[in-house]
């Protein structure tokens, strides 16, 4: 069964727009996470950025205490955040690139160019009993390097696929890149997640990508929840994921 991890970052984005720097105010990302779980989500994802633009430290500690599914902490390979993760002990960390000027994570990690540092962090996490995923573009060299550094998972960046899926030619090209990378990763013993830009419209096409374990989806669920509520938004996404054969 294909699993759904809901990224609740943008719930915190709305809160911080009004209550930044305060310890009160809503909406509450932890409450949203609990609603997602109750609606059938298999895990919760939150990105503790170095600039703390949305999720705050208090959020991740409360999430670790409250959620009963799988807690995925997205994070940069930055010393401060690494130490937070080692104390927090989420079920899994997903290492992602960060740039201060970006609105959200825009690209995949350069595992090839950062192999030594990522290998060290991966080993530290695994020694602490925390699984490791690397957020990468569907590129053969990055998949190979991810296996070399000792990660158990990769998360394929589906942003380019999501951008072009409505164009038959470009969409097929991007889909084939994802298919090839998923097959390569599986052959190397890596488990395969995917995320970025996914929604109920493009998921049917994504079903052709083999070996997927989990999709991490945030913006489309949170934005849909403004209209229909978080419970219904999660259920709609789960319905779109039904029938995946892997």
The three-state (H, E, C) secondary structure of 125-159, written as one string: HHHCCCEEEEEECCCHHHHHHHHHCCCCEEEEECH
Q: How confident is the model at residue 239 (pLDDT cuts 50, 70, 90)?
A: very high
Distance CA 224, CA 89 (A): 31
The alpha carbon torsion through 164, 74, 153, 2 (nearest 10 deg) reads -60
Residue 224 lies in a domain: yes
Residue 188 lies in a domain: yes
Strands 153-157 and 43-47: unpaired
Q: Could you say which of 10, 42, 47, 157 is catalytic?
A: 47
242 flagged as catalytic: no
Residue 63 lies in a domain: yes
Q: How confident is the model at residue 107 (pLDDT cuts 50, 70, 90)?
A: confident
* 221 and 190 Cβ atoms separated by less than 8 Å: no
Q: Could you say which of 74, 174, 214, 236 is catalytic?
A: 74
211 Cβ contact partners less than 8 Å away, ≥ 6 residues apart: 182, 183, 185, 186, 191, 192, 246
* 221 and 6 Cβ atoms separated by less than 8 Å: yes
Q: Could you say which of 54, 155, 196, 236 is catalytic?
A: 196
Q: Check whether the bond before 175 is cis (ω within 30° of 0).
A: no
196 flagged as catalytic: yes
Residue 72 lies in a domain: yes
For the entire predicted model, the pTM comes to: 0.95
pLDDT digits (tens, 9 = 90+) for 193-212: 999 999 999 999 999 999 99
Residue 246 lies in a domain: no
Q: Supply the CATH number for residue 188's domain.
A: 3.20.20.70
Tokens 């192999």 label which residue? 115
Distance of CA 158 to the CA centre of its chain: 11
Residue 58 lies in a domain: yes
For the record, the structure tokens of 44 come out as: 């919760």
The residue range of the domain holding 214 is 3-241
164 flagged as catalytic: no
Number of domains in the chain: 1
20 Cβ contact partners less than 8 Å away, ≥ 6 residues apart: none
* 154 and 193 Cβ atoms separated by less than 8 Å: yes
* 4 and 215 Cβ atoms separated by less than 8 Å: yes
pLDDT digits (tens, 9 = 90+) for 3-55: 999 999 999 999 999 999 999 999 999 999 999 999 999 999 999 999 999 99
């Amino acid at each position: 069964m294909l699993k759904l991890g809901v990224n609740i970052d943008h719930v915190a984005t709305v809160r911080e727009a009004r209550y930044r720097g305060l310890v009160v105010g809503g909406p509450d990302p932890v409450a949203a996470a609990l609603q997602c779980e109750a609606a059938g989500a298999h895990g919760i994802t939150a990105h503790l950025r170095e600039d703390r633009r949305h999720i705050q430290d208090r959020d991740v500690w409360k999430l670790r205490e409250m959620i009963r599914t799988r807690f995925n902490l997205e994070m940069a390979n930055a010393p401060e955040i690494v130490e937070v993760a080692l104390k927090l002990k989420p079920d899994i960390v997903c290492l992602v690139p960060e740039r201060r000027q970006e609105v959200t994570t825009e690209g995949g990690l350069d595992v090839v160019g950062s192999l030594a540092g990522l290998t060290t962090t991966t080993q530290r996490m695994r020694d602490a009993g925390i699984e490791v995923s690397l957020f990468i573009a569907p590129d053969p060299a990055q998949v190979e390097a991810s296996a070399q550094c000792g990660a158990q998972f990769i998360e394929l960046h589906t942003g380019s696929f999501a951008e072009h899926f409505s164009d038959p030619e470009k969409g097929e090209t991007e889909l084939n890149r994802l298919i090839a990378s998923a097959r390569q990763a599986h052959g190397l013993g890596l488990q395969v997640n995917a995320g970025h830009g996914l929604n109920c419209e493009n998921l049917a096409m994504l079903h052709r990508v083999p070996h997927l374990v989990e999709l991490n989806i945030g913006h489309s669920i949170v934005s849909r929840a403004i209209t229909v509520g978080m419970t219904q938004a999660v259920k709609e996404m789960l319905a779109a994921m039904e029938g995946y054969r892997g």
